[in-house]
Structure 1
Amino acid sequence: MPSRRQVIASGGLSLVAIAGGARAVDGPISIAAGSDFDWPMARFDAAGTATNPDASGPVEGPQVKWERDLDASVKGPAPATLVGDTLFVVGRSSIAALDRETGRVRFERDGYSYLSAPTVAEASAYRTPTLAITGNEGVYGLSAGGGYGAGEFNVGLQRWHAPGSPPPIRTSANPHEPSPVAADGTIYAAIPDSNRIVALDSSSGRLEWEYATNERSGGVNRPAVRDGTVYVTTRPDHVAALDAATGDIRWTTLVEPLEPEREHDYRQCNPPTATERGLVVPSRRAVTLLDPDDGSIEWEYVHDGAASDGSVAVADGTVYATDGEDELHAIDIETGEQRWTAEYAHDVHPVVADGVVYLTYFWLYDLVAIDAESGERRWTYELEAGPSQPIVGDGVLYVVAHNRIVALEEGQ
């Protein structure tokens, strides 16, 4: 059923047309088939590896390929996503689609309160994918085609909101909540300000199952999905493995404090990454590898930092993690031994492509590139405003930075 806002929007579009086209009406766009260079969700894939083995970005130094100003609400740490020839970018209450080669705006729509990056999910009931975006009280499912728009009105943009109806009041917060994860036609999402993970049908928003963590939870992180299992971490110390189809619990564990005798020495688990080797769980002072079958500890790397946020990237047998105080750490995923460290003080979400680790921190203006093999800094590029986590495509890196998106390619 369309929402009241959509019905009003539909009437508004009709009146616009009858009145002689006072406002131009643009229809839905087509979405090209995906490519090897897609980046369909934050941290690239459902497993949260933050690396696309087929993608590449600037290596020796960047130059601007194109940049595009967008709606004033487009700010904050939410990255873009990329499918086929289209980039998707969210603002506090808007969403835009751009051509990846030129930056031309394909559509720009007003919406509700969007609090995460968009996740592109296959939707068998539609011709175009669903864009899943976290909101105040649930997840919005939008048409990747954009529906029909005329000024502030639109129809056909929103497919569903779940669980329940969308809140009537918009928020002024920047997009900052964990992004949904899409796998095999299902969307897995952490509900803000709760201890719940939900699984939703990507076409209809139908609730497939729900999992609530223990009452001690201080919030649920972005889940990771691999080989039919959903992995969930919470703050401070809860980790669970769930059957992706049913939500049944396969195992749960608590990651014990490093120094139990110290008062308030909580782990503060950050978002997990699921790999063939095991489940990588970063926390405030350490990175831990858990056995994916039972949750037992395989190894633990203690950096003794203060990583209250951020996640890891995993590429070519190496885990890349920031400690929130001094350094980026490269860790051998087989043994848990250190390969190298590089100076970088912030707890962020690294991205890896073609032998380069890319780092951004929203409260600073720098985009940093570090050699993935040696840890040597390759270059630093200063943006005009605090950037999002970057994404990488076919030789181009894309970053959202305060009302604009910038595409960077290899410099001449």
Structure 2
Amino acid sequence: MRRRRALLRSLGVGAVGFAAGCARLRRLGGPDELARNEVSSEAGGDGSVPMHQRDARHSGYVSGTVTDESGTDRWVSTVDPPDISSAVVLSTDSVFVPSADGVHALDRADGSYRWDRRPDATFPTVPVVTDGVVVVGELFDEPVEDEVGAVAYDAADGTELWETTDVPGGWARPTVRDGVVYLSGGPVDPGVTAVGLADGAVEWQTRLDAETGRVAVNETGVYVAQPTGIRKLGPGGADLWHRSTTGEPRGPPTVADGTVYAQTAPGSFAALDAATGERRWETIAPPETEFSAAVTGGTVYLSGGDLVARRAADGTELWRRSPAQAGASVETATDHYGERGFGDLAVTDDTVYVGHGDGLLAVARADGTPRWRRPFRNRVMGGDMVFGGSPGAPAVAGDTVFTFTSGGDCYAVAR
């Protein structure tokens, strides 16, 4: 039997130790907190972040530069029960927040509640949102004999549009591109299933030899990270190539300019030719380092034990920042879950946004110089301290950075 915490660790998702209660949303309370988190009328802006690290290639890049209010709060709202540290996704008017029991839609301008829905799954995944449709994959912490799948909601009001159960694996993590949702899963009879965004009908399905994480998709194929290596699937799910790795890859691959970037072992990160899977370059780090990558402008930005920028063409290191050099708090660099490295990245024209410890950091894209740090609050629930750190992937749109923490707080911060 595979229990929830073991499952979350296998997915690279943090958990906090308290029982899940009824879901609800509330604004921060108390005179000091309300004054500090006064809502700005300038929040929001154009643009969207449809999925984890913005697009189906997981590039992590969005255009734009810092604002005059950089690092100040637009708003903070709380979702209960959180139970995860994960990514938020954005439409032009809403923020979609995954929680322990469903998905919550918040108003992007002020963080107010819009709607929430609770799929039958034990643990819903990070959603995707595009063309007015929100899709949530289903995860289960018990052995699953029947196939599971995903459920789609109207982004405006949460009306259920369709549900598919034609996905094997025990969980289904969605990526969306050009009207097709790609659901990757495991550990029971794992594979990748492509379904139509409009109706959830299966377009193709491929069974694989090992469980899969979130896939990356570009115009030439679907890229899959598995314990056995990195794999590329073509039209209809055909197996185009498979690159064995020395250890278990962690995190989703990133695809840019004909290259696949992926963690190929607990301490190595590689650039592979997207057409053939051949290695272009590889770097070695301390063996327990976990990487997240964002790529733009000929540079790949990596978060792990350090924050590093490398030349995309050959892996040459351009700059490196330790947590202290990037502006992280030394006092909150560790917690009761152990040491914390940098989290997922978002990159703009001049800034890299990344979580570390109990805060969100912004550093200069040119050299990693700290710009600002927004610390997260701790919470007390049932007499137990819930640490405010372990932020999920930041989502940048308009003039705001959005992130959701393992303490259940969704932050909108001026970028």
Give, in angstroms, the shift of residue 165 of structure 1.
Answer: 10
Contact persistence 1:109–1:146 (CA under 8 A): no
2:124 to 115, 121, 126: 115
Larger radius of gyration: 1
2:269 to 283, 287, 306: 287
For 1:77, the equivalent position in structure 2 comes to 85
Q: Which aligned pairs between 1:97-112 and structure 2 lie closer than 5 A?
A: 97-112=105-120
Q: Which amino acid aligns with 2:87?
A: P
Q: Which aligned pairs between 1:12-411 and structure 2 lie closer than 5 A?
A: 37-53=47-63, 55-56=64-65, 61-70=70-79, 72-113=80-121, 114-122=123-131, 128-136=132-140, 138-145=148-155, 156-157=159-160, 159-163=162-166, 179-194=173-188, 195-214=190-209, 217=210, 219-235=211-227, 237-243=228-234, 245-255=235-245, 257=246, 266-283=247-264, 284-307=266-289, 309-323=290-304, 326-344=305-323, 346=341, 348-361=343-356, 364-384=357-377, 385-386=388-389, 387-401=391-405, 402-409=407-414
Q: Which amino acid aligns with 1:359?
A: V
Give, in angstroms, the shift of residue 164 of structure 1.
Answer: 6.0
Determine helix, strand or coil for the equivalent of 2:237: coil
Q: Which amino acid aligns with 1:224?
A: A
Give, in angstroms, the shift of residue 59 of structure 1.
Answer: 8.1
Q: Structure 2: where are the runs of 5+ without partners?
A: 1-44, 141-146, 324-339, 378-387
- CA distance in 2: counterparts of 1:409 and 1:374, whole angstroms: 21
Give, in angstroms, the shift of residue 160 of structure 1.
Answer: 0.5
Q: Which amino acid aligns with 2:351?
A: V
Determine helix, strand or coil for the equivalent of 1:41: coil
Identity of aligned residues (%): 21
Q: Deviations over 1:112-149 (max 9, x none)?
A: 33432110144xxxxx324233432643222134657x
Change in CA separation of 1:59 and 1:209 when aligned onto 2, cut-off 3 Å: farther
Determine helix, strand or coil for the equivalent of 1:163: strand
Give, in angstroms, the shift of residue 269 of structure 1.
Answer: 4.7
Change in CA separation of 1:267 and 1:92 when aligned onto 2, cut-off 3 Å: closer
- CA distance in 2: counterparts of 1:157 and 1:56, whole angstroms: 37
RMSD: 2.7
Q: Deviations over 1:277-307 (max 9, x none)?
A: 4111123222211111111111122234423
Contact persistence 1:313–1:321 (CA under 8 A): yes
- CA distance in 2: counterparts of 1:315 and 1:222, whole angstroms: 20
Change in CA separation of 1:239 and 1:121 when aligned onto 2, cut-off 3 Å: same
- CA distance in 2: counterparts of 1:242 and 1:166, whole angstroms: 17
Determine helix, strand or coil for the equivalent of 1:101: coil
Determine helix, strand or coil for the equivalent of 1:294: coil
Change in CA separation of 1:58 and 1:117 when aligned onto 2, cut-off 3 Å: farther
Change in CA separation of 1:227 and 1:164 when aligned onto 2, cut-off 3 Å: closer
Give, in angstroms, the shift of residue 201 of structure 1.
Answer: 1.7
Change in CA separation of 1:251 and 1:165 when aligned onto 2, cut-off 3 Å: closer
Q: Deviations over 1:237-270 (max 9, x none)?
A: 4221111x41112222213x3xxxxxxxx25354
- CA distance in 2: counterparts of 1:58 and 1:74, whole angstroms: 30
Q: Structure 1: where are the runs of 5+ without partners?
A: 1-34, 123-127, 149-155, 168-176, 258-265
Determine helix, strand or coil for the equivalent of 2:62: coil
Change in CA separation of 1:346 and 1:60 when aligned onto 2, cut-off 3 Å: farther
Q: Which amino acid aligns with 2:110?
A: T
Change in CA separation of 1:77 and 1:400 when aligned onto 2, cut-off 3 Å: same
- CA distance in 2: counterparts of 1:145 and 1:281, whole angstroms: 32
TM-score, normalised on structure 2? 0.73
Q: Which amino acid aligns with 2:409?
A: R
Contact persistence 2:225–2:251 (CA under 8 A): yes
TM-score, normalised on structure 1? 0.74
- CA distance in 2: counterparts of 1:303 and 1:379, whole angstroms: 27
